[in-house]
Amino acid sequence: MRLPEKSGFIDEERSTQLIRTAIESGVNYLDTAWLYHRGQSEVFLGKALQDGYRKKVRLATKLPHWLVKNRQDMDSFLNIQLNRLQTDHIDYYLIHSLTRESWHRMKELGVTGFLDAAKRDGRIVNAGFSFHDDTTSFKEVINEYDWGFCQIQYNILDEHHQAGVEGLKYAAEKNLAVIIMEPLLGGKLAQNIPKEVQAVWDEAEVKRKPAEWALLWLWNHPEITVVLSGMNDETHLFENLRTASYAYPGSLTKADMTCIRKAVVIYQSLKKIPCTGCGYCMPCPYGVDIPTCFDIYNTRHMFRDQRYVWFLYAKRVGGVLGTITRASLCRNCNTCARVCPQNIHIPGKLQDVAHEFEGVGFRLLVALAQIFLPVIRHIELVRNRRLK
């Protein structure tokens, strides 16, 4: 999803070289999806894995469940993906970005029967799912199908977020392979490091780059099978290969772990709102996604990233993709504050979030999205029909 680009498109020559170098160096798991690079990632990867490279890797891609309207669509999407990737089977096939709500919908449409059938006829080898919801929902999904693997967001700052360490251990106990996404939080744990955190890394006995610390922490977990890193630069590739060469469960010392804990404490101290994402405040009677609003607001201040986080807010809660769960929906009923374990004055903090993110530019973006989103969705529908 983060391949090198040129003029707004995948730089195919450079990206092919990058991928083939990775494979020749021992990387054997490649992850893509229907929507990555505006629908071009699978097509490109199918070409990049020619000349015998397909046989050297386990290939993963994902069912875009939000485009699925019925059981037949599932087969159609999978068959198109096989064609795009120029292969007769997908080694690891995921339902993309599941939540409790989307899992219930997909079950009703017959996704378990689809996965069983696709495994029987050999189009997929292992069935799994990627996940973005709470731990309870994660366990529910695991318990309701015979999965081979799962993919979760996990890193030094997400130990107790979404599936979290509890979900990680639960999946491992159920004998699922666990694939880790966002190990560096989209690169934020590797660059533009707050000076307070960098001071901790500089004081460590063993000198390592921030990305190395974050990856080592993950590989130190015996429950983790694969760590996905969106390496889009040759330097990143070789640095990560070097780290992987000595990173194993239990390889970090007590001093190393102390250093990492210090860095995490500092990151957490940079949060503006002491929200743990527990979800006790939900559901909001007026539709605010309180944990997500607070998470994005905290990310803005922890990593001092204004542009990316502003678009993230507009996308995830602002209504740019149609669903409106933004902070300004709050009506100060105080229901959330009465049950918050952290004693946060939630309505007041939501006002801070709305003030920071929902200015004139935000309102203009949402208005444009409401005009153009139906057109974009129609174009996508027509394109999918043509592909079928």
**Over the stretch 165-194, which tens digit does the pLDDT of each residue have?**
999 999 999 999 999 999 998 888 998 899
Q: What is the pLDDT of residue 359?
A: 82
Q: What is the pLDDT of residue 112?
A: 98
Percent pLDDT > 70 in the chain is: 92
Contacts of 14 (CB under 8 A, 6+ apart): 4, 6
What span, in angstroms and rounded, lies between the C-alpha atoms of 81 and 89?
10
pLDDT tens digit sequence for 69-102? 999 999 999 999 999 999 999 999 999 989 898 9
Q: Where is pLDDT greater, at 162 or 103? A: 103
371: helix, strand or coil: helix
Structure-token pair, residue 36: 């990555």
Q: Please state the pTM of the whole predicted model.
A: 0.81
Contacts of 350 (CB under 8 A, 6+ apart): 288, 290, 293, 327, 328, 330
Q: Does residue 132 carry a pLDDT above 80? A: yes
Determine if the peptide bond prior to 283 is cis (ω within 30°).
yes
pLDDT tens digit sequence for 108-128? 999 999 999 999 999 999 999
The per-residue pLDDT of the chain, averaged, comes to: 91
Contacts of 329 (CB under 8 A, 6+ apart): 284, 286, 287, 288
Q: Does residue 252 carry a pLDDT above 70? A: yes
Of the listed ranges 108-122, 279-293, 350-364, the least confidently predicted one is 350-364
- Decide if 358 contacts 287 (C-beta within 8 A): no
- DSSP element (H, E) containing 92: strand 90-98
Q: Is 38 left (phi over 0), alpha (psi -120 to 50) or beta?
A: left
Place of tokens 């560096």: 184
Q: What is the pLDDT of residue 246?
A: 93
Q: Does residue 378 carry a pLDDT above 60? A: no
Q: What is the pLDDT of residue 320?
A: 63
Q: What is the pLDDT of residue 312?
A: 81
Structure-token pair, residue 35: 């929507």
Name the CA dihedral angle for 372, 36, 159, 242, rounded to a multiple of 10 degrees.
-150
pLDDT tens digit sequence for 3-51? 999 988 999 999 999 999 999 999 999 999 998 988 999 999 999 999 9
Q: Does residue 278 carry a pLDDT above 80? A: no
pLDDT tens digit sequence for 204-221? 999 999 999 999 999 999
What span, in angstroms and rounded, lies between the C-alpha atoms of 221 and 172?
11
What span, in angstroms and rounded, lies between the C-alpha atoms of 85 and 88?
9
In whole angstroms, how far apart are CA 290 and each of 29, 61, 329, 353, 382? 36, 31, 10, 10, 36
143: helix, strand or coil: helix
- Decide if 93 contacts 124 (C-beta within 8 A): yes
3-state helix, strand, coil split of the chain in percent (to 5) is 50, 10, 35
- The domains of the chain, with CATH numbers, are 5-263 (3.20.20.100), 290-383 (no CATH)
Q: Does residue 370 carry a pLDDT above 70? A: no
Of the listed ranges 51-55, 209-213, 341-345, the least confidently predicted one is 341-345
Core vs surface per residue 58-75: b (16+ CB within 10 A) or e: ebbbbbbbebbeeeebbe
Contacts of 142 (CB under 8 A, 6+ apart): 150, 170, 171, 174, 176
In whole angstroms, how far apart are CA 367 and each of 186, 360, 370? 28, 11, 5
